[in-house]
Amino acid sequence: MGGGDTQATPVFDRVGDLLDAEEPFALVTIIEGPGTGSKLVVRPTGVADPAFEGTLGDPGLDRVAIRDARGELAAGRSGVRHYGEHGEAREETVVVFVESFAVPPRMLVFGAVDFTGALVRVAKVLGYRVTVCDAREVFATSRRFPTADEVVVDWPHRLLERVGENLGERDAVCVLTHDDKFDVPAVISALDTQVGYIGVMGSRRTHANRLVRLREAGVDEAGLARLRSPLGLDIGARTPEETAVSIVAEIIALRTGRSTRALSDSDGPIHG
Amino acid sequence: MREILGDIRRWQRLGRRVALARVVDLEGSGPRLPGAAMAVADDGEVTGSVSGGCVEAAVVTEALEVLGKGDRRMVSFGYSDDEAFAVGLTCGGTVHLFIEPLDW
C-alpha cells in the first residue's frame, strides 16, 4: 500500500481482495461490549483458504460467531447478533454486526441483439454479473458488449448445461433471441434450473406460438407459469434502454413480491 | 463496501486516515439496508452513503471526531420530528450506525 507512513490495514486489505475476486465471505465486527472493533473474516462452509481469519478475542465467541456468520452468509443477510463474552446464547454482553458479502447475482442474456447491450448496462448498474450468450460468433463479441463480464459463443442450452446447477433464486435468465431455433431449447434448459427469473422476449404472437412449441416439447403448465413472457413491466417501453428498465423492474418486483403500482397510487411502507 | 473500495484505497495510498461508517441495524422504514457504508477521509472528503442524504452531514461530523479521538461508536438517527434526535430520517425509521477508524 505505498509509503512507509501508511497505516497497515491487513483485514481491510483482505476484504478488498475478496471483493475484487467476487468471493463470498462475511465480515464480523464487535460493535458493543468488550473487544469493540475486533473482527473476523469468515468464508462459507466448505471453503478453507483459510476458513476464517482474525478473532473476536475469545475462542468460544469465535466459534459461535463463525457458525452464525455462515448461516447469515448462506441467506445473504446482514444484521446484529448478541452473545455472552464466551459466546453464550441468551446473553447480550457482546453485540456483533455480521455483514454478508454474497456472490453477486448472475444474469444470463441469451441473444446478441439490439436490446442486449442496454440490458447488460442496466444489469451492471444493479450489480449483476452478466454473461451474454449467442451461437453466432459475428454478433457475440466483447467489442459489442464491453460492459458484459463474459461473452460466450455457444448455444444457450449448452451454456446452461455447464452453469445451470449454480443458478439460484437471485439469478436471472433473459431470452432475447426471439427465434424458435434458439429460444425453445434455451427455455427448456432454464426450466431445469432453480433460477429465480426466466424472462422471454417476443410479441404477443411470438409468445403464443412459443407456448404451443414448448407444450409440444413436453413443458407442463407449472413450467409455463414460471416464464415471464413477454418479459418486462408494462411501462410503454420502446427503446432498448427503456425495455431494459422494464425488465429489471420486473425482476425486482418479483423478488420483493410487491405490486407494480405507482407509489403515488398506493399507501403503506415504501422500504418495508 | 464494494462501491467505496476504490476511493478508500486511493486515500490510503495518499496516506490519509479514514473513518468507516456502516449501517448495522434499521427500525421501521429506512432507505438503506444494513451494510450500507460511507467513508470519510481526514480532510473531509466523503464517499458512499448510509441514507437518502438525510443524515450524511451529521455522520461526517461524527466520523471526523472518531478520527480525532480514535474511538469507535454507535450512533443512531431517528425521525427528525422526535426531540431525541437533532438530525433524522424523514421517512420515520431509525438507523443505527457503527463508526470506526479504518485501522484494521
CA distance A271 to B91: 9
- In our burial notation (b when 16+ CB lie closer than 10 A, e otherwise), range A44-65 reads beeeeeeebebebebeebbebb
Q: Can you tell me the mean pLDDT for B45-60?
A: 91
Whether residue A70 is found in the same domain as residue A110? no
**Percent of chain A at pLDDT exceeding 90:** 80
Give the cell for residue B18: 479514514
User: Is the model more confident about B25 or about A47?
Assistant: B25
Task: Tell me which of B98, B99, B103 to substitute to probe the interface with A (most A C-beta atoms closer than 10 Å).
Answer: B98
B34 closest CB neighbour out of A6, A15, A79: A79
Whether the predicted pLDDT of B44 surpasses 60:
yes
Whether residue A237 is found in the same domain as residue A119? yes
What angle do helix axes B5-13 and A10-20 make, rounded to 10 degrees? 140
**Cα A43 versus chain centre, distance:** 18
Q: Given its phi and psi angles, is residue B34 left (phi above 0), alpha (psi -120 to 50 degrees) or beta? A: beta
- Sheet hosting strand A94-101, strand order edge to edge: A52-55, A39-42, A25-32, A94-101, A79-83
pLDDT score of B79: 62
**A9 CA: distance to closest CA in chain B (Å):** 5
Whether residue A185 is found in the same domain as residue A218? yes
**A29 CA: distance to closest CA in chain B (Å):** 10
Q: Which of A84, A101, A118 is the last residue of a domain?
A: A101
pLDDT score of A181: 77
- Does any domain span residue A268? no
Whether residue A97 is found in the same domain as residue A117? no
Query: Going by C-beta distance under 8 Å and a sequence separation of 6 or more, which residues neighbour residue A144?
Result: A112, A117, A151
- Does any domain span residue A138? yes
Q: How many CA atoms lie within 13 A of A213 on its CB side?
A: 17
pLDDT score of A4: 47
DSSP string, B57-81: HHHHHHHHHHHHH---EEEEEEETT
Residues of chain B positioned with their CB less than 8 A from the CB of A10: 104
Q: Do B15 and A16 touch (CB under 8 A)?
A: no
- Please name the residue that has the C-alpha cell 436471472: A172
Whether residue A151 is found in the same domain as residue A236? yes
pLDDT score of A268: 79
A270 closest CB neighbour out of B29, B34, B35: B29
Task: Tell me which of A1, A5, A6, A7 to substitute to probe the interface with B (most B C-beta atoms closer than 10 Å).
Answer: A7
Going from N- to C-terminal start, the domains of chain B cover: 2-101
Whether residue A191 is found in the same domain as residue A74? no
**Percent of chain A at pLDDT exceeding 70:** 97
Q: Do A97 and B22 touch (CB under 8 A)?
A: yes
- Does any domain span residue A182? yes
Residues of chain B positioned with their CB less than 8 A from the CB of A32: 74
State which residues form the domain around A55: 24-101
Structural domain count of chain A: 2
Q: How many CA atoms lie within 13 A of A8 on its CB side?
A: 2
Question: What does the DSSP 8-state code read for residue A15?
Answer: H
A9 closest CB neighbour out of B1, B30, B102: B102
- Triad A110, A125, A158: Cα angle to 5°: 20
CATH number where A127 lies: 3.40.50.720
Give yes or no for A2 touching B (CB within 8 A). yes
Give the cell for residue B3: 462501491
CA distance B60 to B65: 9
Q: Which of A68, A101, A134 is the last residue of a domain?
A: A101
pLDDT tens readout for residues A98-149: 999 998 899 999 999 989 999 999 999 998 999 999 999 999 999 999 999 9
- In our burial notation (b when 16+ CB lie closer than 10 A, e otherwise), range B31-59 reads bbebbbbbbbbbeeebbbbbbeebbbebb
Give the cell for residue A30: 464487535
Q: Which of A101, A117, A142 is the last residue of a domain?
A: A101
Whether residue A78 is found in the same domain as residue A176? no
Q: Do A5 and B15 touch (CB under 8 A)?
A: yes
- Does any domain span residue A7? no
Q: Do A99 and B22 touch (CB under 8 A)?
A: yes
